Structure 1
Amino acid sequence: MTPQPVQTYEYGVDVVADDIDELGHVNNAVYLKWVQAAVLRHWYCVAPKEVIAAHLWVAVKHEIRYRRPGFLNDHVVIRVVLKKLLGARAFYKTMINRGDEVLAEVESCWCCLDSVTNKPARLARDIVARFLPVEAPRRC
């Protein structure tokens, strides 16, 4: 995998039989499962362990634009880009691709919670800087 900016994370998935619905293509809910996995993997990749333990992320909103169906045995790449952090919210754009074809585009908003109180929690500036730096790409 090529180096990626810290605000970007991607991973590949092979479509399996459990991902397929009665219409013979990837079920809409599976796209959301992939988005959630990518956002959380991004968090685990960049945030320090003690910060991960102190915070949880919950989805607030997803807006999905389905472009093409995915099928059994397809290899898809899920790529999330953190667009901005605002208070306790994170705004991501996710692209789900099969090769050069875009299967779906997802805009989502997530809320950071304190893991003890379950109340919204802002991230410290030094943690935000890990996710939205101006510098070089990072490998995980």
Structure 2
Amino acid sequence: MSAKPFAFPIRVLPEDIDFMGHVNNARYLGWVQDVVLAHWNKLAPAEEVASKAWVALKHEITYRRPAFLHDDVIAETVLEKIAGARSFYNTVIRRGEDVLAEVKSMWCCIDAESLRPARISRDVAEKYFGLPRSQERYTGS
């Protein structure tokens, strides 16, 4: 079982639109970063937010439909698993009921000073997953 989904509204801006008149494919990855970081900032303690940063390790994206200027878009992400410094997210980007893109991504938490990988503590992981603890979702390794 994964953590509770986190929804993040997206405003499609004129600079998101490419020469074909729809949102550029690369912008979707920016939206994934926006929602993952907003999720972290909302649930992690302030001292963790201040001392940690995130880098993307991998994205697997499936584009379903284009988005256009003035569309009401929502990115909904779910943290599936934490393994040491790595976090695994599933994000779905929607316009109403239409799925625009589905993204599986892996992120690495790093110490903001040393820029070295930093494990996510069990206490922080529990803020995402709640109780009881699940070894499937948090491995600590």
Q: Normalization by structure 2: what TM-score?
A: 0.88
Partner in structure 2 of residue 76 of structure 1: 73
**For residue 59 of structure 2, what is the amino acid of its counterpart?**
H
Is 2:104 aligned against 1:103?
no
| Partner SS for 1:11 | strand
In the alignment, structure 1 segments of 5+ residues that lack a partner are: 136-140
1:29-48 matches, within 5 Å, as 29-48=26-45
* Cα-to-partner distance string for 1:63-108 (whole Å, 9 max, x where unaligned): 1000001111111010010000011100000000000000000000
Aligned equivalents of 1:41 and 1:85: distance in 2?
17
CA contact (8 A) 1:85 1:128 kept: yes
Show the counterpart of 2:117: 120
Name 2:138's counterpart in structure 1: none
Q: Which runs of 5+ in 2 are unaligned?
A: 133-141
2:88–2:106 contact (8 Å) kept in structure 1: yes
Decide whether the 8 Å contact of 1:6 with 1:46 is kept in 2. no
Q: Identity of counterpart residues, as a percentage?
A: 50
Provide the aligned C-alpha RMSD in A. Answer: 1.4
Moved beyond 6 Å, runs of 4+: none
